[in-house]
Structure formats: C-alpha cells, structure tokens
Amino acid sequence: MTRDNFIPEHRRYSQRLARLEKQNNSAQAREHQPISNKVVGIKKQRRNSSKKRISVLVWIFGLVLLVMIYIISPLSKVTDITISGNNELSNERVEKATTIWRGRLIWTAFFAQRHLEHEAKIRDPQIRSLKVKLRGPQSVHVAITENHLLGEGQIGKQKYAVLTNGQLQLTTAQNTNIDFKGFEKNREQLKFLGQQLGKLKPVIYHGISSIEYQPTKESPHQIILYMKDGNTVKANLTNVGDKLKYYPSILTKMKGQGVVDLRVGAYSYDYGSKDK
C-alpha cells in the first residue's frame, strides 16, 4: 500500500473510532443518570396507568347504571301485544297462557321464549308452538300454531275436548264439532283416534258429525263415522287417518248416499243396495 492510499484509510478508521467512543459515552451517561429522574419516570407511568383503569371503571359503572335506569323505567315494559295464528283461541286466552301481559319486562318475554312456550303448552294444550318477536321498544308480536279442536268425548263422568295431537282437555263448553261416542272406558283409544284424525286436512274432519267406537270380534278396532253429507264410513281406529284422506275421491264415484267401507281395502255401496 502506498503512502497516499494509507492516509485516507487511516482517517476513516479514526472517524469510526470517534463515533464508537461517542456512542459508548452516551450509553454510560444514560446509565448513570440521577435516581430522581428514574423515580419521576416511574411515577408518570403509574399515573397514566391509573388514569386508564379509572376511565374503564367509569365506563363500566356508567353502563351498568344506564341499564338499571332502563330496567326500572316504563320504557322497558310491554305496552302493545299483537297475536297471530290463533283461529280457535281468543287473544285473551293466548295472553293468559303465555303470561305475556302489558307491563311485563319486554326482554324477559323475548329471551325466555322456550320457557314461555313450555309453560303455555301446559296451561293450554291447544297451543302447539309459540314465537315472540320484538316489533318496537315496547311492542311484541306473539305468533302461535294451534292443535285444532276435533270435538268432545265422554270418559267416565268427565267431558273432554279432543285435539288433533291426541291430547284430551277437560271442558264444559258446548260441543259444536265431532261427537265421540263409546269411549267412556277407552281413554287411550280416544287419544289415538285424535292423533289419527290430526293427519287429515281440516276440510275432511270438519265433515264428520259423530264417531262411534264399535269393536267386534271380527273387527276389534272398528269405528263408525257419520258424515255431515249423510254418508256412513266404516273404518279401523288404527289406520283411519291414512285411509280417510281418500274419502273425497271415493265420493266422486258414488251415485247417492251410502256406506264407505275402509276396513279392508276401500269400497262403497248405496243404502238401498244389499248390505255387504
């Protein structure tokens, strides 16, 4: 290496060494700063941390306070109730069964739907399902589906309403639907018949005037249905729901009033013809 090249290299080395010494001195100065400065920094950090915690607590407390004020205020109470899906049940009867009344906390009605549905079914078996919807800050809508009323039957000394899900409900109302006869000592058969008829379209079971339970040795499950159109139907309690659905199509083939036999197969004959 020539002398001319050596001089610039030496200068660069000297400059690099000077920078390193300067950085080292700065680091030592920071390490040996007065303890009072460190204490001040720590106190400042603690104050900032305390402010943040206090701010969070104030927000939480304020939110809880607002919720409590809302709960005890009239704004959280139900003032308007609408009901849909009830054809046989009155609005008053639905409200009583569901325990959703004006003045009840609106959120307890919305978030406790399953409990309300369970209790409503117990209080009134004609309620099949229930759903609560919020229509406003103080308005709820109750949508229900019904177990339709088929008619009434006598069990022992008590009169029961027969529903399309097979449930029996004590009643004192005047019967305007199907009159179930011969079930005084056959409670389970009556419940099963209700389930069978529940499979049918309303237009079919609304066309039944009365049903008699007439078991025989040859037909141990025989029932006789007296239709409002003047026809008589012989069927089995065990499958009447599956077979009676063909009744409208059978009528189109009948020339006049007569008997429809659904016990074995399906056929019909006029009252005037020889009894089959």
Q: Where are the domains of the chain?
A: 76-146, 149-270
Report the alpha-carbon distance of residue 181 to residue 171 in Å, rounded.
16
- Percent helix, percent strand, percent coil in the chain, to nearest 5: 45, 25, 30
The mean pLDDT value for 201-213 works out to: 96
β-strand partners of 179: 152, 210
pLDDT at res. 7: 56
The count of other CB atoms within 10 Å of the CB of residue 59 is: 10
SS3 category, 151: strand
Alpha helices in 32-79 (DSSP H): 35-72
End-to-end CA distance of the chain, in Å? 134
pLDDT at res. 174: 83
pLDDT at res. 6: 47
The count of other CB atoms within 10 Å of the CB of residue 228 is: 11
Q: Residue 273 corresponds to which tokens in the numbers above?
A: 């013809």
pLDDT band at 55 (very low <50, low <70, confident <90, very high): confident
pLDDT at res. 42: 63
Pick the CATH number of 149-270 from 3.40.50.10960, 3.30.450.20, 3.30.70.1230, 3.40.50.150: 3.40.50.10960
For the CA atoms of the chain, what is the radius of gyration? 42
More confident residue, 257 or 110: 257
Q: pLDDT per residue over 17-38, tens digit each?
A: 667 666 665 555 555 555 555 4
More confident residue, 12 or 128: 128
The mean pLDDT value for 212-236 works out to: 96
Tell me: pLDDT of 44 over 50: yes
Residue with tokens 């303890």: 35
pLDDT at res. 245: 95
The mean pLDDT value for 130-136 works out to: 89
pTM score over 0.85: no
Percent of the chain whose predicted confidence (pLDDT) is above 90: 54
Tell me: pLDDT of 12 over 80: no
Could you tell me how many residues make up the chain?
276
Q: Residue 111 corresponds to which tokens in the numbers above?
A: 């978030």
pLDDT at res. 61: 75
CB 211 within 8 A of CB 223: yes
pLDDT at res. 87: 92
CB 130 within 8 A of CB 143: yes
pLDDT, mean over the chain = 84
Report the alpha-carbon distance of residue 269 to residue 258 in Å, rounded.
6
Report the alpha-carbon distance of residue 116 to residue 130 in Å, rounded.
8
pLDDT band at 84 (very low <50, low <70, confident <90, very high): very high
Residue with tokens 């080395």: 13
Q: Residue 159 corresponds to which tokens in the numbers above?
A: 């009169």
| Class of domain 76-146 as given by CATH | alpha beta
